[in-house]
């Protein structure tokens, strides 16, 4: 019976129509709790003061990690959805689908004393993470790194992002059955 976050992730992961489906991890409380704890662990002693998460799975995971760390959550919105107040915005470099995303966060949500962790389910190219890092630093905050479930980065973008911790790599996943 799987007991580690890595094993539980693999148990609940599947491919549907050629697309990765990690949504089942949110349905199982034991799996979700194990994954949140594992995402926190490499950063527990880093004095994190805020957790960012990119819409949509990053909202869920980031919020849970923020609660686990006892800190606030800072949402990063995509596109032009309602998001009141002064914002910092960046357009990401093309992602794995060659799409560029406009990412936004509320300027007032971060300050010079913050130590910020980005949490997400999957990091492929690092384009969105790099955009978030730039916004975090524009707000005067300290970028502490990324904690993700699946790390698919190559060395060049990983080095540019600093500390990136993944529970598993894309190579650890079962083959895609499209």
Q: What is the mean pLDDT of residues 98-127?
A: 94
User: From CA 34, how far away is CA 173, in angstroms rounded?
Assistant: 18
Contact 20, 173 (CB under 8 A): yes
65, β-bridge pairs: none
> Taking the model in full, what pTM does it have?
0.94
Q: Does pLDDT of 41 surpass 80?
A: yes
Q: What is the mean pLDDT of residues 9-17?
A: 93
Contact 114, 98 (CB under 8 A): no
Least confident of 15-29, 42-56, 122-136, 137-151: 15-29
> Residue 178 — very low, low, confident or very high, per pLDDT cuts 50/70/90?
low
Find the DSSP H helices in the chain: 5-12, 24-27, 29-40, 57-69, 127-138, 155-161
pLDDT at 95: 76
Does residue 178 or residue 118 have the better pLDDT?
118
User: From CA 130, how far away is CA 100, in angstroms rounded?
Assistant: 12
Percent of the chain with pLDDT over 70: 99
pLDDT digits (tens, 9 = 90+) for 74-109: 999 998 878 899 999 999 988 777 888 899 999 999
User: From CA 91, how far away is CA 107, in angstroms rounded?
Assistant: 16
Q: Does pLDDT of 24 surpass 80?
A: yes
Class of domain 46-167: alpha beta
pLDDT at 3: 82
């Amino acid at each position: 019976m799987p007991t580690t976050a890595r094993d539980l992730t693999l148990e609940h992961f599947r491919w549907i129509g050629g697309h990765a489906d990690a949504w089942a991890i949110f349905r199982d409380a034991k799996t979700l709790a194990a994954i949140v704890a594992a995402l926190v662990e490499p950063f527990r002693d880093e004095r994190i003061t805020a957790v960012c998460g990119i819409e949509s799975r990053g909202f869920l995971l980031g919020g849970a990690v923020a609660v686990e760390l006892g800190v606030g959550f800072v949402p990063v919105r995509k596109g032009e959805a309602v998001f009141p107040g002064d914002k910092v915005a960046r357009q990401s470099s093309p992602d794995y689908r060659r799409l560029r995303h406009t990412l936004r966060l509320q300027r007032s949500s971060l300050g010079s004393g913050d130590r910020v962790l980005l949490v997400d389910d999957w990091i492929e190219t690092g384009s969105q993470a790099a955009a978030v890092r730039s916004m975090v630093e524009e707000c005067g905050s300290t970028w502490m790194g990324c904690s993700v479930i699946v790390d698919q980065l190559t060395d060049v973008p990983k080095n540019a992002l600093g500390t990136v911790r993944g529970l598993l790599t894309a190579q650890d996943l079962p083959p895609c059955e499209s």
